[in-house]
Structure 1
Amino acid sequence: MDVFLRNNIKITGRTDKPLIVFAHGYGCDQNMWRFVAPAFEDDFQVLTFDHVGSGKSDVSAYDFEKYDSLSGYALDIIEFLEVLNAKEVIFIGHSVSAMIGALVAVERPGLLGKLIMVGPSPCYINDADYYGGFDKEDIVEMIETLEQNYLGWASHITPVITGRPDKPEIAEELENSFCQNKPDIAKHFAKVTFTGDNRGDLPKIKASTLIIQCDPDIIAPKKVGEYVHEQIPNSVLKIIPSPGHCPHLTSPEQTIKVIKSFLA
């Protein structure tokens, strides 16, 4: 299988420079990085892609067993990076892709030189002394709702995710992105995303890591970002004082500035 077609891989920028990979979040595609990725093309080789089942990826490659955990997505990334013979990659992952990037870093130490996590959450469900932002009952109810009425759920949740009532066009774009994906795949990916628990993987990450945290963020609250920072040994936490869960869409200039400062 051609992994470049499978993941709809696009490469721009400088081929003689380090590789920087932008990975999109749940329900999205690589187009969500359009305000940020071009700012790095003068100094990096820039790769954007779609997770299998999202965007313009090869949907026929979606295997419900393989993608029943985030490890399946991590294996895809490892595969195409190895095809490129890439080393010391800079990986930027939004939301669920932050955890997918964490798994890549753990599975292939040294493959990622730097890991940048935008709005990460290793576990959305509150547990004993851990605060994930949601009670288990909330997640169960959400999954039941999206199974019964995925399009209605998408319409309700996207303004919550963006957190910017002053920018309704961003919520509308996100809703359209959610609705372009096949409902059965989108529902499955949602279950994997919101019921997963990758807390145990965080201390194993050796790559230099930047955590970008919006404040406030209902989906991945500040307390979650602080937890991720505490658990990853070589990490830096940067707060963007902007509401919502998608700073690359709602606050791209701040996002670019924070990333470039870290890479410098």
Structure 2
Amino acid sequence: MRQQKKFSPERGGRNGRPSSPNRAPNRPDLVRLYGRHPVTAALANPERRLVRLYATREALAEVETPAKLDVRVMDSQELKRLVPEGAPTQGLVLETHPLEGPALFDILQNIAPEDRRPILVLDQVTDPHNIGAILRSAAAFDACAVVTQDRHAPPETGALAKSASGCLELVPWVRVVNLARALDEIAEAGFWRIGMDGRAERSLSDVLGTCRPCLVLGAEGAGLRPNVVEHCDELAKLPISGRVESLNVSNAAAIALYAAAARG
């Protein structure tokens, strides 16, 4: 069993930061969020760099907007032309810069040693609806962060934010360049890396114990890549019926997060 090490800023470069930051570059383009929950949550997030709000008069009367925000009043048909076909606006469309994701180092440095909340790592989960649903579950079960590899995860979009139902603003979403290196940093911070695999011998409830869990999930079907498995401390499975081959990754993540939270 791997011996857990104390997270040490001194191992990094100047100012205690890693000499080679494992952080994906920011995206300068704008996104359009739509729907009541995503838009109102974004308006209330001080980390958001807002650009413009498009709204019907009825919807605008029910939201609080920053004093200097550019607001354009439109009818519902005009709003529909700003979003993908069939997307439900509920009278609100917000143009904004994408959130600037935090650095993994900063997240780990600010987690107290006694904090047993999980970190969730996603390996090649590319569907924006799954990512959004996972962010919602991560917020519901108080996860420290969700970590993805930048080139194998979707960008921030209106569809993803709608699936997250406002929780995109609540859970730190960390994008990294190298997922294996990120898992090593997480281990150094004292987390036990549990790879979710239906072929594992032990169930998640047996593996969790009193550890600080880092739950690692792969895409539905493909599962975890071999290199990611090599950077896990242990594999675990969910006790699902043999009549079902696997669960959707967002469902599996919700169950795993609940199991981590239910330890008391």
The TM-score with structure 2 as length reference comes to 0.32
Instruction: Indicate the structure (1 or 2) with the bigger Cα radius of gyration.
Output: 2
Which structure has the highest helix share of the two?
A: 1
